[in-house]
Amino acid sequence: MASAPIRTTLANPAPLGLAGFALTTWLLSMINAGWFSGESMGLVLACALAYGGTAQAIAGIMELPRGNTFGATAFLSYGAFWWSFALFVLFLHDKVPAAFVGWYLFLWGTFTFYMWLATFRSPRALQAIFLALWITFGLLAGGEWTGSVILRMAGGYLGLVTAALAFYLSAADVINEVHGRVVLPVGEPRVFSRHAVAL
């Protein structure tokens, strides 16, 4: 009896990584936007460790054998961000000056900015995620530096936009692959190159 052929193609980890990022970002952004109080942070931290942190890091590791430097760097880095955020809130929140937290957020914004520059040959949905995210980090950093509730809330609302965009791209990757055609458009880049990066 002949055995079934072994599938050698690697699954696309991007929908997992994007969803882990999106869901955790949405939960935290609802608090930053003022929809919920800090009493809700416990569930954000649980999600940050399990989904935003661990599942996203797994997606990053899955990108390595695919040769996707951008995907591996993005998912492993933001997975580590969620782990560092959870550890900070759990153990260091009252011990670190707000100005230093501002630098933490600003530097994540700097990383996100150059990752955004690397998306210019990728689908426009991916470009939009990184554009919204680095501005979100900037607003939140400004909120820490100035103590401005307005900046923090603005960062929260833009974080919700970022999460919605990431959810959309995750859904598009899954649904388009299942149907074998474009059901949810992602905005193909105008310049095509064999060196183009994509999650």
Sign, CA dihedral 46-76-123-126, equals positive
Phi, psi of 83 (to 5 degrees): -65, -45
| Confidence at residue 93, expressed as pLDDT on a 0 to 100 scale | 87
Using the structure block, give the residue that is written with the tokens 């569930």: 43
Using the structure block, give the residue that is written with the tokens 């900037």: 138
Structure tokens at 30: 């609802």
Say if CB 88 and CB 39 are below 8 A apart: no
Residue among 21, 28, 60 at smallest CA distance from 152: 28
| Confidence at residue 4, expressed as pLDDT on a 0 to 100 scale | 55
DSSP output for 80-122 = HHHHHHHHIIIIITTTS-HHHHHHHHHHHHHHHHHHHHTTTTS
| Confidence at residue 2, expressed as pLDDT on a 0 to 100 scale | 52
| Confidence at residue 189, expressed as pLDDT on a 0 to 100 scale | 76
Residue among 32, 38, 31, 127 at smallest CA distance from 74: 127
| Confidence at residue 24, expressed as pLDDT on a 0 to 100 scale | 98
| Confidence at residue 193, expressed as pLDDT on a 0 to 100 scale | 37
Please tell me the distance from the alpha carbon of residue 92 to that of residue 72, in angstroms, as a whole number.
Answer: 28
| Confidence at residue 196, expressed as pLDDT on a 0 to 100 scale | 40
CB atoms within 10 A of CB 9: 5
- Average pLDDT per block of 10 residues along the chain, 199 residues long: 60 96 98 97 98 98 96 98 97 94 98 98 96 98 98 98 98 94 86 41
Structure tokens at 100: 């230093």
Please tell me the distance from the alpha carbon of residue 86 to that of residue 89, in angstroms, as a whole number.
Answer: 5
| Confidence at residue 7, expressed as pLDDT on a 0 to 100 scale | 56
Please tell me the distance from the alpha carbon of residue 152 to that of residue 143, in angstroms, as a whole number.
Answer: 5
